[in-house]
Amino acid sequence: MGDTASAASSKTSSTELSTLPVALDLRICPSCGDRASCPQAAGDNLRCVECGHRWPFRRLPLFALTGPSAAGKSTVGPKLAQQLAGEAVVLEQDVLWTGALRDDEPGHPAFRAAWLRMAAMLHQNGRPVVLCGTVAPQELEPLPERVFFSDVHYLALVADGETLGRRLRARPAWREWDEPRIAEMLEFNRWLRGQVECIDTTEAAVDDVVAAVARWVRAGIGETPESGPGTS
């Protein structure tokens, strides 16, 4: 009797496992195994262009906390992770800035696409991702992997030019912040102000900025009624 029950249990487990997707990579069809170069989604379902199979997935919003270097992303990130523990996963995008992902193409599409695939896989665990790092909407929105997200919310930490320049010049020499590179970053800082929602960190206290970013994230995932971070 025990052997029969054990065999039945084993058979059930085997059957259940066979219904699971073959990979966490959402580009791979769980039916035929094809890997899509341009994934297709309709609502909360993905569709294989090769065999037509459809399967459900978690299509959550992605939160891009962007801004120029020295605006405060690296300072805010760890505190934000503590404040949003259990609600969202906060990640630093520079950890993947290595090897083959250091492409020379404008916008670094290989690097951006790798992060979108990583975030989409993490979303299948039920929590949205907050990705901290310098990025512009034009670098994410055209990518095929953008289809994995219900929305991408952008929030930039910025500062006045004088303060930002001073912060960059004070950085260690190994970071190689020469004047041409600083000028480029200051221009990006000015450009961002007209592109996405911003929080000015020039004189803001770190804890206030963290609280504002947390409100922005919670509003985006529908946990609070606020429509924005409340600081600009």
CA distance 84 to 75: 15
What pLDDT digit, counting tens, does each position of 97-151 carry?
888 888 878 899 999 999 999 999 999 999 999 999 999 999 999 999 999 999 9
Q: 225, 230, 219, 209: which is closest to 63 by C-alpha?
A: 219
Half-sphere exposure of 192 (CA within 13 A, CB side): 29
Structure tokens, 193: 């102000």
Measured over the CA atoms of residue 9, residue 15, residue 16 and residue 17, the dihedral's sign is positive
Residue 196 pLDDT exceeds 70: yes
CATH class of 62-220: alpha beta
What pLDDT digit, counting tens, does each position of 59-111 carry?
999 999 999 999 999 999 999 999 999 999 999 999 998 888 888 788 999 99
Q: How far is CA 177 from CA 59, 121, 148, 166, 190, in A?
A: 39, 35, 36, 11, 18
Q: Where exactly does CATH 3.40.50.300 map onto the chain?
A: 62-220
